[in-house]
Structure 1
Amino acid sequence: MLSTNNNLSHLDYRQQIKVTSTAETAFRALTENIHLWWSKTSASLQKQGGQFTIHFENGYWWTFKILEFTPHSELIWKCIDGEPEFNKEWIGHVLHWSITQDGDQTLIDFHQVGLTPELQCYEVCSKTWDKFIVEHLKTHLEIT
């Protein structure tokens, strides 16, 4: 489990979905197939110590360093850069994906350490994550 020194970690954004997909397919969606449910990527090196940048049509982008890369089980990314200015609030945030196979279903837990209600972008970012995880990722995995 991801540990944090943030005393407000219970306020960090979290989301969980259960899908009728394998852990292997879910892991692939969170690595090599991010562009199919989130947005296009560049400079992608999908392995521990690697990094990737995600780009959106509105010009926003974030770069993540991959801190943990455990196939079919866990991914931890750290945001190391982003644009525009309000997106800089994400720099230093740790995004933790946990994948658990449960029979013919897979549970995906997401936790963004640092994305709390005190941030300017919290409302927009949490609603956008809900859309991408609950709608886009879940739909992608249910039809894959």
Structure 2
Amino acid sequence: METTNFTTTIVVDNSASEVFNAINNVRAWWQGEIEGNTNKLNDEFIYRMGEIHYSKQKITEFIPNEKIVWLVTDSKLNPLKFKDESEWTGTKIIFEITEKNNKTQVRFTHVGLVPAFECYGDCSWAWGQLIEESLFSLITTGKGVNVFG
């Protein structure tokens, strides 16, 4: 069984500091409702997209301009679509920031979101849109985009 975690990478001309600040401005790039703080170690926040998605994240690593890790402490995915509504619980969402050749790379990995997950297709597609389009736009233009219509 394949256990590859979902990952995607973007490269921008912005500084690591600008990238770090954009990632932590979660409300600007992750569509849905966000409750709580999202910008320092041990912050906890809840993300909701109607009845489709609920997850609670705790920031467990916070290294300025280098790395951010969210631990998903609770989750409930669309019960009409998925048998295991809590697939995300216990997974980690990681943003790794590196500078190279006057560019900044963001490597996004959802550790635990693997092809064996029932939600892998939908969730990996959504993360791809959010990171490659909305977060990329926020970093490069100052405004995230609504990727879910």
TM-score by length of 2: 0.82
| Matched residue, 1:79 | 72
What's the Cα RMSD here? 1.9
Equivalent of residue 107 in structure 2, options 106, 109, 123: 109
| Matched residue, 1:3 | none
Deviation (angstroms), 1:56: 2.1
| Matched residue, 2:44 | 51
For 1:24 and 1:75, how far apart are their aligned partners in 2? 13
Give runs of aligned pairs for residues 122-137 of structure 1, distance below 5 A: 122-137=120-135
Q: Is the 1:44–1:53 Cα contact (8 Å) retained in structure 2?
A: no
> Post-superposition, which runs of at least 4 consecutive aligned residues in structure 1 deviate over 3 A?
84-87
The structure richer in helix per residue is 1
- Say if 2:28 is the partner of 1:36: yes
Superposed CA offset, 1:24-62 (max 9, x none):
11111111x111111342121532122111222455221
- Say if 2:136 is the partner of 1:138: yes
Paired residue secondary structure (1:77): strand
Task: Tell me the percent identity.
Answer: 27
Q: Is the 1:20–1:141 Cα contact (8 Å) retained in structure 2?
A: no
For 2:5 and 2:13, how far apart are their aligned partners in 1? 27
Structure 2 gap segments, 5+ residues each: 143-149
Query: In structure 2, what residue type is equivalent to 1:129?
Result: W
Structure 1 gap segments, 5+ residues each: 1-6
For 2:88 and 2:54, how far apart are their aligned partners in 1? 11
For 1:98 and 1:20, how far apart are their aligned partners in 2? 16
Query: In structure 1, what residue type is equivalent to 2:61?
Result: E
Give runs of aligned pairs for residues 57-68 of structure 1, distance below 5 A: 57-58=50-51, 60-68=53-61
